[in-house]
Structure 1
């Protein structure tokens, strides 16, 4: 309820006040936090591609999750598009409480984020968090996470430290997202057992025969880590740059969009902007919603400028 009220209040204040104001020159560069996760790369790529024909530049700061929120507080970055609730709730709560970080909008529903296993491991009996320790030897006492500092890794470390589910003798293997997936694919080829961080949206759900574990509600949230993703901004950003505030409030994603764009990045070798251009070319109807009420930096109507800039008739 608290999140909904904050989002509604911020969104209303942006849209109700000075609805078609253009931004000043000090707003020309939007500074985006980048967690270096493929879904965030896709999100930031989409934002950059849309902002360029509007007359804005984007600057990416690659940061770990804890540093992202600290950087928003310190006004070193403006926006972060990949705040997953409830998994980031403990990280971001102090900043929401002191007002240094605000929630602009919920940008995606239907996501999930929890521990997963290959389907043959599920069929072998490991279906619940409480089953993990039973198979410690087959798992080599390891759980595969992503990069150090991520909120998912911290949850796993907290479980190990607190001996939740009897995991005190387990090790968290930290690596990049891609390195983790490469290792899991190697294990799948050999039918070796593994527990790893899984999430949707992500093309892993199509590439791997995998199942999400039950029983982790107290750690990753209900519905197998069901998540809401929201856009975080530094305090004052939407007031200082109302047009950018309106843009980032209107920029919404879907699981299907991110699954597809992430596939372009991971499987086709595209960068975020190239993936965004391809996806927009196939779904130009999305531009109207993303750009409703948004202008160029100098105050012209935004939608025609973006359509022209992207070569969309």
Structure 2
């Protein structure tokens, strides 16, 4: 009997000392709900996240929402991750949600080096429309319009505030809201006719190569310095990393560059499935997986990198 106790004790000690596999996450973590707001950049990065979680044995789901609804969903625990918090342009929108620990913003941005402000075709800048202060002087040629994207987004709100406050003499202008795709159509139409047009511009985005555009100077007070220099962060429910630590590690690892996102977005804007686009891009750039999957396992605790490589046929 003493011998059996000794053996059992030795086995227990050995099991405690041996490296163990990561524990499987709760079943409630298997479905991962990502907010998608209809922007090509967020569609692209969310497509990558969904492709990876799929390969890891999770069940990713896309939830279409406006920007405010996306943050509301995160706050209420109805959305697990939103990869589209553009700072500083969304800071005023996010502030109420961060009060009383309503949501958590992961500390490392998923994108650095972005920009977000008003832009014009370069021929319009060469004609004198170079700054926010110049817009009012071109009111007739612009038909008193500034083109934004979908209602409720942060850029549109900033434009509306400028108009309501008669900032830069824009009190008589009108914001035209539609969608990212609708705005691009208006730019294309103006370029074909060689007419000036003022619109929300940002990078990364293929608009920077599809059109010869110039970002307007002088908008620091509204969009921030250096032509709206921005960082993009990921928002999650406050307790998400504690409940689903493996997914928390993956979301913290997901960091992109302007070049990577521009490549992904080019395909997304051609109406291709963002998850398929992401899979194809990863197959062509497999080395990135080591960074994104560092310390990440499958849902059931197995080697995450090996599982995703197998899932993608690498």
| TM surpasses 0.5 | yes
In structure 1, the residue matched to 2:165 is 162
Q: Which residue of 62, 65, 78 maps to 1:63?
A: 65
Q: Which residue of 31, 36, 47 maps to 1:45?
A: 47
Q: Secondary structure at the match of 1:115?
A: strand
Q: Secondary structure at the match of 2:264?
A: helix
Q: Secondary structure at the match of 1:270?
A: coil
Note the 1:1-313 alignment, pairs <5 A.
20-104=22-106, 105-267=108-270, 269-312=271-314
1:145–1:180 contact (8 Å) kept in structure 2: yes
Structure 1 segments, 4+ long, off by >6 Å, are none
Alignment deviations for residues 57-114 of structure 1 (CA, whole Å, 9 cap, x no partner): 1111111111111111111111100110000100001112221111113111000000
2:74–2:80 contact (8 Å) kept in structure 1: yes
Q: Secondary structure at the match of 1:60?
A: strand
Query: Matched residues in 2 for 1:53 and 1:273: separation?
Result: 11
Query: Matched residues in 1 for 2:100 and 2:91: separation?
Result: 14
Alignment deviations for residues 152-192 of structure 1 (CA, whole Å, 9 cap, x no partner): 00000011011100101000000110111011101101001
In structure 2, the residue matched to 1:7 is none
1:23–1:244 contact (8 Å) kept in structure 2: no
Alignment deviations for residues 179-206 of structure 1 (CA, whole Å, 9 cap, x no partner): 1101110110100111000000000000
Query: Matched residues in 2 for 1:213 and 1:73: separation?
Result: 35
Query: Matched residues in 1 for 2:152 and 2:177: separation?
Result: 9
Q: Secondary structure at the match of 1:96?
A: helix
In structure 1, the residue matched to 2:16 is none
**Unmatched runs of 5 consecutive residues or more in structure 2:** 1-19
1:21–1:243 contact (8 Å) kept in structure 2: no
TM-score between both structures, scaled by the size of structure 2 = 0.92
* Max Rg structure: 2
Query: Matched residues in 1 for 2:222 and 2:59: separation?
Result: 38
**Unmatched runs of 5 consecutive residues or more in structure 1:** 1-17
TM-score between both structures, scaled by the size of structure 1 = 0.92
Query: Matched residues in 2 for 1:19 and 1:190: separation?
Result: 63
1:20–1:294 contact (8 Å) kept in structure 2: no
1:72–1:233 contact (8 Å) kept in structure 2: yes
Query: Matched residues in 2 for 1:214 and 1:115: separation?
Result: 9
Query: Matched residues in 2 for 1:21 and 1:78: separation?
Result: 20
CA RMSD of aligned residues (A): 1.2
Alpha-carbon shift at residue 20 of structure 1 (Å): 4.1
1:114–1:212 contact (8 Å) kept in structure 2: yes
Query: Matched residues in 2 for 1:159 and 1:66: separation?
Result: 20
Query: Matched residues in 1 for 2:273 and 2:296: separation?
Result: 26
Q: Secondary structure at the match of 1:106?
A: coil
Query: Matched residues in 2 for 1:274 and 1:297: separation?
Result: 21
2:23–2:300 contact (8 Å) kept in structure 1: no
1:114–1:220 contact (8 Å) kept in structure 2: yes
